Amino acid sequence: MIFAGGIVWAYSMIYNKKAATQLQMTAMEVTESMTLTSALTVLPFLAFSSFGFSPTPIALASVAYTAVFCTIVAFFLFYRALKALTIVNTGVIMLLEIVMATIASSAFLGEALSPIGVLGGALVGLAILLVS
């Protein structure tokens, strides 16, 4: 499933690059179409999930924060960059998200960084430098 997800993501990046450049869609239009398509695609699978949600104020605030800042704002900025950069550059730079999440989990949650994890982060940094 992860491999299939990677293939779908690759094709969506190609389509989104085309939408942003050749179809002259704005970054917000591309973000809106991606968000709506993703939500509609995932929604049917919710019926098969054991996911439980209690609408407490902190849970609703968390959902709103994640929706606005971690999805809409993040993808808007990504698609804005995609208009000017190549797919390869933006794809490699997106790997920085994993490095930053690892650093944040170490700093805020006290998770240990393994030597192989540090090496992986360094390789991602090197890849970003090489494509820049």
Q: What are 8-37's pLDDT values in tens digits?
A: 888 888 888 888 888 888 888 888 888 888
Based on the fold, state whether residues 19 and 62 are members of the same structural domain: yes
Based on the fold, state whether residues 31 and 79 are members of the same structural domain: yes
pTM of the model: 0.66
Whole-angstrom distance, CA of residue 114 vs CA of residue 70: 27
Domains of the chain: total: 2
Print the domain residue range for 2.
1-35+55-85
Pick the more confident residue, 95 or 61: 61
Based on the fold, state whether residues 61 and 10 are members of the same structural domain: yes
Based on the fold, state whether residues 131 and 74 are members of the same structural domain: no
The set of long-range contacts for 73-80, using a CB threshold of 8 Å and a minimum separation of 24, is 75/31, 75/34, 75/35, 76/27, 76/28, 76/31, 77/27, 79/16, 79/20, 79/27, 79/30, 79/31, 79/34, 80/27
Residue 40 domain-assigned? no
Residue 120 domain-assigned? yes
Q: What is the pLDDT of residues 34-86, one digit of tens each?
A: 888 888 988 888 888 887 888 899 999 999 999 999 888 988 888 888 888 88
